[in-house]
Amino acid sequence: MWQPELRELRLALSENVRLLRGRRGLSQERLALEAGVDRTLVSKIERTIANPTLEVLTKLAAVLEVPVVRLLKT
């Protein structure tokens, strides 16, 4: 039951991070560096492989200058 919703949220997160990162002109590496996370994690998030923690989402949102909920918005 919850798996389709999780898949949808991962897809929304992936698309939103990629879009917002692009709008700010940030590479995956630069976003990761500024957020204090590993670059491979950003890559995995954008490929819908990773299931990031709330802490990671908060760090990415801060760098992207959006509320955390914006990262999950479908």
pLDDT digits (tens, 9 = 90+) for 12-34: 999 999 999 999 999 999 999 99
12 alpha-carbon distance from chain centroid: 9
Structural domains present in the chain: 2-72 (1.10.260.40)
| pLDDT level of residue 4 (50, 70, 90 thresholds) | confident
Longest dimension (CA), the chain: 37
Q: What is the reported pLDDT for 74?
A: 84
Tokens of residue 21, six digits: 């990162």
Q: Burial-class residue 66 by CB neighbours within 10 Å (0-12, 13-18, 19+).
A: middle
Report the chain's terminal Cα–Cα distance, integer Å: 18
Q: Return the pLDDT at 20.
A: 98
What are 15's two structure tokens?
């698309």
pLDDT of residue 1: 64
User: Over the chain, what is the mean pLDDT?
Assistant: 96
